[in-house]
Amino acid sequence: MDPSNTGWPREVETSEGKITLEGPPQRILTYSLGHDEMVLALAPPERIAALGKFTGNPSYSNVAELAPQFPVYEKGAENVLAQSPDIFIVSKSTKADIVELVKEAGVPVARPDLEDATEGNISQILLLGYMLGAEERALELTAEIRQRLEAVASRVPPAGDPSRPAVISITRWSDSISISGGGTTGSDIIEAAGGVNAAARDGIDGFQKISVESILAMNPDFILIPQDGEGAVNLRDDLMNDPVLATVPSVVNGQIHIVHPPNYIVLSHWTVRGVERTAEILFPDRFADVTFTDFEPYTGE
């Protein structure tokens, strides 16, 4: 990327290689929910060709209410090409055969790699802004991200402060409890909100299955459940009523919180809302006078 080139054509290099864009893309298509959320914040609706089906599902998406105004497409190279995109934005998990088929059809393919970090996607938003000809909007959005994170950081104990509470983030599927260890979005959210990820502290990296006894050993002050529906309620109730956990502070003090999953699992700027919500949970007195709001989609204003 040559930031000094503010005109067109533009050359952009991602992990998928170098592409040349003759002008601002008019039929943008992405292959991940995180990229859909970012593009909706950067580009006007008329330039977005379609959205993936998960973008319209409120259990997964932070922008589900925006989805009905767009066509929905299914996965697969044929379905991608049917949308006539003039740029195809993929993630690191997009299969190589799909990418190659789309490339062979002459569509520029970019792979801005999303990261498991609350701030890590600032660089990707700026890159997307350059690719889409939306540099000014990208600068506005990244400035808002930094401002919101700094506003939280100014009210919570700094990293290393012994007053930081121990927190874990868990889900349960098919009777298996999984925890967010070090190097995950959940871990970053906890740390940015003023907590200590007890799983990372105890040497767990990535997403791992754990037992109730492991939760006892971590002895968390707070437990977050980024899951929705009956499964989340049942998990919370089971933890509250498990005799093994009867002395754990989060159980004793009723600090087991079901939180909105998309704020915690989608790799986009919306993880900042996860930071804000977690900070409210951990330090309610420090945020009693603060009203957090959702990010706004692109309005052109």
10-147 in CATH: which number?
3.40.50.1980
Q: Hey, what are 8's tokens?
A: 């067109």
- Cβ atoms within 10 Å of 185's Cβ, excluding its own: 25
Tens digit of each residue's pLDDT (9 = 90 or more) over 19-64 = 999 999 999 999 999 999 999 999 999 999 999 999 999 999 999 9
Residue ranges of domains in the chain? 10-147, 166-282
Q: Hey, what are 256's tokens?
A: 């087991």
Q: Are 142 and 126 in contact (CB under 8 A)?
A: yes
249 pLDDT band, cuts 50/70/90, is very high
Tens digit of each residue's pLDDT (9 = 90 or more) over 56-91 = 999 999 999 999 999 999 999 999 999 999 999 999
Q: Do domains 10-147 and 166-282 have the same CATH topology?
A: yes
The conformation of residue 205, written as its DSSP 8-state character, comes to B
User: What element of type H or E holds 122?
Assistant: helix 122-132
Tens digit of each residue's pLDDT (9 = 90 or more) over 190-226 = 999 999 999 999 999 999 999 999 999 999 999 999 9
Can you give the pLDDT at residue 300? 75
Tens digit of each residue's pLDDT (9 = 90 or more) over 163-200 = 999 999 999 999 999 999 999 999 999 999 999 999 99
Q: Whole-number mean pLDDT of the chain?
A: 95
166-282 in CATH: which number?
3.40.50.1980
- 186 exposure class (CB count in 10 Å sphere: 0-12, 13-18, 19+): buried
Can you give the pLDDT at residue 19? 96
